[in-house]
Amino acid sequence: MYKRVFLFAIISLALFGCVSNKKPAGSKGLQVSENGRYLTEDGKPFFWLGDTGWLLFNKVTREQADQYLEDRKQKGFNVVQVMVLHSVPSVNIYGDSSLVNGNVSKPKVTEGSSFADSTQYDFWDHIDYVVDKAKEKGIYMAMVPVWGTNVKNKKVTPEQAKIYAEFLAKRYKDKSNIIWLNGGDIKGTDGGKVWEVIGNTLRANDPNHLITFHPRGRTGSSEWFHDAKWLDFNMVQSGHRRYDQDTSAKEKWHYGEDNWKYIEKDYNLKPVKPTIDAEPSYEGIPQGLHDVSQPRWNDADVRRYGYWSVFAGAFGYTYGDNSVMQMYNPEKKDAAYGATKPWQTALNDPGAGQMVHLKNLMLSRDAYLDRVPDQSLIVGTVGGDGEKYNRLMATKGKDYIFVYTYTGRNIPLKMAVLSGDQVKASWFSPRDGKTTLIGNIENKGTHQFDPPGEEMDGNDWVLIVDKI
């Protein structure tokens, strides 16, 4: 009997490969929820509120890293997306090189190094310090092993990638606050063999940390890797272009500014996997990215992307700021994308302080893990939920409904979805997180909700309807 059970287990492993990262309720660490839609931490709902600190490991000192992480902790962020190797090789602010002779398979590690001895402290020790400091502050480090352009430019072979990914996995597998972002602003078809090797090697040597793929702008990981056994959740980069700038709009799965469409697409895939927009337009970056004479995306824009994507079914959201993501120092005169202000100043750009309101709202109701998107709540003809900036996005749980409007337009809501003769309605402001009671509403037919203020871009509100 025991032999048959053992044989069955071996055959199952051979046929189906790695097991899913979905673990029983109450499991420790960051995991995919039982329904495959969201993340949990130690068995409790986890709302990913990320920040792009891409060059954190390369361009700041340990003291400055402390400053950055503390600021993000205070603003409610719990994930930082960061590059391990921005270039091949990479050199940090202390002049420490990451690799021997630029060979990815040969990380430059100093034996017996310590924080106390600066002559022995190396590139990898610096990363260790930042990772540990982030853990102290309750922040996960979502780390890109090697940025995509290096692979596209053939600086990394599959053979080198295997050795390097094994090095990373073994070095960080016991760090509880690690998430792996394979790829790095790249299509899965550019160096696809390398990405498969990195994903499979990380999974084989580090089975307890979540893995995804950070894709090229206006694409999502599901285009190439949805069925990959190493990919635990999907990731979208909706990108930095306006509707009229999206020259790839005729291609499959390109949606301009409508980032909710990427989430909707992923949400309907089988097997079910969580999804997130992890790089929408950054605050303070030129619209279209490369022409610095263009208008800049602002806090209203990053709010819109956040609420649209989360209400469409995403398990969280990643914010970005032009100066912060590149840790811009004006003295270095190396600004990318027209950055003008020091990263320390940009930490307090308005959008950064507003993101926590989205996180708090989503975690404010019970049964978070049962939340679903539901556009049928919006009453009207085909397209009645609006196009472009007039889009209304609706999501609901067992006892509540949320509807987001970016422009403050009228919301025609289908009633009698929640039980009871009456329901309680309120307005929630994404700008300051304050809730204003509307009152009790008769729970039948259709009710027209008129948000405060005039209808215009950036007068955004969330209609909250609660069961009494």
Is residue 14 within 8 A of residue 42, CB to CB? The reply is no
CA–CA separation, 387 vs 383, rounded Å?
7
**What's the pLDDT score for residue 247?**
72
pLDDT of residue 3: 38
138 compared with 20, residue with greater pLDDT: 138
20-368, what's its fold? TIM Barrel (3.20.20)
Binned at pLDDT 50, 70 and 90, residue 256 comes out as: confident
Q: Is the pLDDT of residue 170 over 50?
A: yes
pLDDT of 371 over the 60 cut: yes
Is pTM beyond 0.85 here?
Answer: yes
**pLDDT tens column, 187-200:** 999 999 999 999 99
Please give the average per-residue pLDDT across 367-395, as a whole number. 90
**What's the pLDDT at 19?**
41
pLDDT surpassing 60 at residue 41: yes
What does the alpha-carbon distance between residue 431 and residue 418 come to, in Å, rounded to a whole number? 27
What is the CATH architecture of 374-467?
Answer: Sandwich (2.60)
Task: Tell me the pLDDT of the chain averaged across its residues.
Answer: 92
Question: Model confidence at 18, in pLDDT bands (50, 70, 90)?
Answer: very low
pLDDT score at 176:
98
Question: Looking at residues 129-136, what average pLDDT do you find?
Answer: 98
Residue 358 has pLDDT above 90, yes or no: yes
The CA–CA distances, whole Å, from 445 to 317, 421, 439, 467 equal: 34, 12, 17, 16
Predicted confidence band of residue 118 (pLDDT cuts 50, 70, 90): low
Say what the pLDDT of residue 380 is: 83
Residues 372-384 as b or e (16 or more Cβ within 10 Å = b): ebbbebbbeeeee
Q: At what angle do helices 192-205 and 158-172 cross, to 10 degrees?
A: 30
Contact 308, 301 (CB under 8 A): no
Say whether pLDDT at 23 is over 60: no
Give the pLDDT of residue 111.
Answer: 78
**Whether the predicted pLDDT of 6 surpasses 90:** no
Handedness of CA 395, 400, 404, 410 (dihedral sign): positive
| pLDDT at residue 248, as a whole number | 63
Structure confidence at residue 250 (pLDDT) = 60
Instruction: Give tens-digit pLDDT for 55-81.
Output: 999 999 999 999 999 999 999 999 999
* Domain residue ranges in the chain: 20-368, 374-467
Q: For position 255, what pLDDT does the model report?
A: 87
What band does 27 get if pLDDT is binned at 50, 70 and 90?
low
User: For 388-423, how does the pLDDT look when each residue is reduced to its tens digit (9 = 90+)?
Assistant: 999 999 999 999 999 999 999 999 999 999 999 999
Separation CA 418–CA 397 (nearest Å): 9
Contact at 8 Å (CB) between 346 and 322?
Answer: yes
Residue 350 clears pLDDT 90, i.e. is over it: yes
Opening angle at CA 274, ends 272 and 275, nearest 5: 120
In the predicted model, is pLDDT for residue 2 greater than 50? no
The pLDDT, as a whole number, for residue 12 is: 37
Given a cut of 80, whether residue 108 has pLDDT beyond it is: yes
